Amino acid sequence: MPSFLDLHTTSPADLRAMIDNARAMKEARAGLPRGTPDADQPLAGRMVALIFEKPSTRTRVSFDVGVRQMGGQTMVLSGKEMQLGHGETIADTARVLSRYVDLIMIRTFEEDTLKEMSDYASVPVINGLTNRTHPCQIMADIMTYEEHRGPIKGKKVVWAGDGNNVCASFLHAAGQFGFDFTFTGPQPLDPEEVWVKFAREKGSAVTIERDPFKAVEGADLIVTDTWVSMHDPESAKERRHNQLRPYQVTEELMKRANPGALFMHCLPAHRNDEVTSEVMDGPASVIFDEAENRLHAQKAVMRWCLGL
Ligand code: CP
Ligand code: NVA
């Protein structure tokens, strides 16, 4: 059974099938109270472990609600409270958990932790964010774009700010879903070259443009994220703010994009740092749809992992 570790390691056909399935499942539940069980109960009798080594609101709640809607049960585990946080190896933890649960979702720091978990687990493992990538978020973002504007293939997505883990998964998606991607931010915070190369090799036109106003010309979607991620040292904050201030997403910047361009942010946001409140609450913003779609997209991811 496959793990869902990253977008660049999952086939475009499977990613597309998951997005389509997510949309169908969302439509089937339209208007129902959140706690209403899905009619088919695909996860009946299944147990899912949700491990968090970093804070979370959306990932934690959306996975938990998603499993319950599909008839399964969850346990939410804090890395610190597990033996994992007190010297037990990841490999041993993976082998033990595999005797109890059917699926493991983990949010962690190092990508190697995720990889080791999936190497030693005999059940599928889902990446709920590492320092390097955040694939579940971008599945929800692709779903959200397409709900509002139709196919994302051939569109231009602009990332403004830090070339971080969420940006990395957007680059993977550019390659896998066939859209163009422009990064605008200061050179020290460029996305990793290996991800730029991946997207380009898959046929995506990837551009690095230091001038944010030039970058957004012709954009169909503008995306940003926090300037200081959970794994970044607190000491980086002041320097980051100085480097990134010119890349704040403002109404003025949005106006230079294509008419009808959307704004996305994975949240949590720092209002009036990476984006103004005016943009967050304005007509182009689909930030809360993105948050909702975490639920639907991850339900499709879990079904794919379990072959259901
Ligand atoms: N976007 C996202 O992953 O949010 P949380 O950190 O709240 O899970
Ligand atoms: N880049 C952010 C995303 C949070 C969902 C972080 O890693 O903290």
Average pLDDT along the chain: 98
Atom of ligand 1 nearest to the CA of 55: 6
**Burial readout 112-126 (b: 16 or more C-beta within 10 A, e: otherwise):** ebbbbbbebbebbbb
Domain boundaries, given as residue ranges, for the chain = 32-132, 137-290
Its pTM surpasses 0.95: yes
Average pLDDT over residues 111-127: 98
Residue 178 CA neighbour count, 13 Å, CB half: 9
Q: Confirm whether 32-132 and 137-290 share one CATH topology.
A: yes
Is 137 a known active-site residue? yes
Q: What is the side-by-side order of every strand in the sheet holding 221-224?
A: 206-208, 180-184, 156-160, 221-224, 262-265
Ligand 2 mutation pick, 226, 231, 234, 267, max ligand atoms within 8 A of CB: 226
Ligand 2 in reach of 290 Cβ (< 6 A) = no
Protein fold of 32-132: Rossmann fold (3.40.50)
Q: Which of 266, 296, 298, 305 is catalytic?
A: 266
Tell me which of 107, 225, 264, 267 to substitute to probe ligand 2's pocket, judged by most ligand atoms within 8 Å of the beta carbon.
225
Q: Binning pLDDT at 50, 70 and 90, where does residue 267 land?
A: very high
What is the reported pLDDT for 67?
A: 98
Report pLDDT digits (tens) over 165-206: 999 999 999 999 999 999 999 999 999 999 999 999 999 999
**CA–CA separation, 128 and 118 (whole Å):** 13
pLDDT score, position 46: 98
Render pLDDT for 226-265 as a digit per residue (tens, 0 to 9): 999 999 999 999 999 999 999 999 999 999 999 999 999 9
The pLDDT, as a whole number, for residue 166 is 98
CATH number of 137-290: 3.40.50.1370
